[in-house]
Structure 1
Amino acid sequence: MAIKKLEHVGIMVADLEKSIGFYRDAIGMELRGTLVHTNPSIILAFLSFPNSSQTEVELIHGYQSNLPKEGVVHHLAFTVDHMETEIERLKQLDVTFQDKEITILPNGAKYIFFYGPDNESIELFEPAT
């Protein structure tokens, strides 16, 4: 199995700048960067703790305008070395994929979503090389 680590937790936010400020000032994280998604209405912000190269929180702005009081945690993401190999392995376990195709972000990173046993959203993430 090539799943290596918990990549990030994606959180839907209504106000990206306010949320960045909160995770920076109240939690002590640092903004590592932002990325406009392939859907240009979605902007992603990545934060982690100082002296840590691992992304811990992904803020998702523009995905959904009406955020629920519960369930703003959008997904769990796990890092993989080779996306296609992991997809084939999971298909052998009868995992149901949300996406028909792998999404490739402008920076070259890849992801795909599938469902856990309680319909929770789980992402496989292959970092850009």
Structure 2
Amino acid sequence: MLQKLEHIGVMVTDMDRSIAFYTEVLGLKLRDRRRLGDVVELAFLGLDGAELELVAGAPAEVSGDAQVNHIAFAVESLPEAMEAIRHIDPAITFTEAMPLWEGKGCVFFRGPDGERLELFGRL
């Protein structure tokens, strides 16, 4: 039945700002950017086979459908990843690292439109 997770769609208010954040701060690769008609714009960013779809300009009935709780990214080391992100964007604020299991944990922070993002990796 299901083959893979195709992509996660995130509503954004400023496409250029969001593309810059996800490519420059988090290191995703811009794979495609296109318009649907005169108003809606899509951008697809990839990382190891997974894709994030940014959607700007969609009508309220599309943008208000539902909310994603968070988007998680695996990292080797939480402290190293947090330091690298802070070096690129010192304004990013992380939650306190939460220990989970087997020496791994997570931290949360916000993207440019307030989307909740998680780093998961070794503490």
In which range does the TM-score fall when normalised by the shorter chain?
0.3 to 0.5
User: TM-score scaled by structure 1?
Assistant: 0.44
Q: Normalized per residue, which structure has more helix?
A: 2
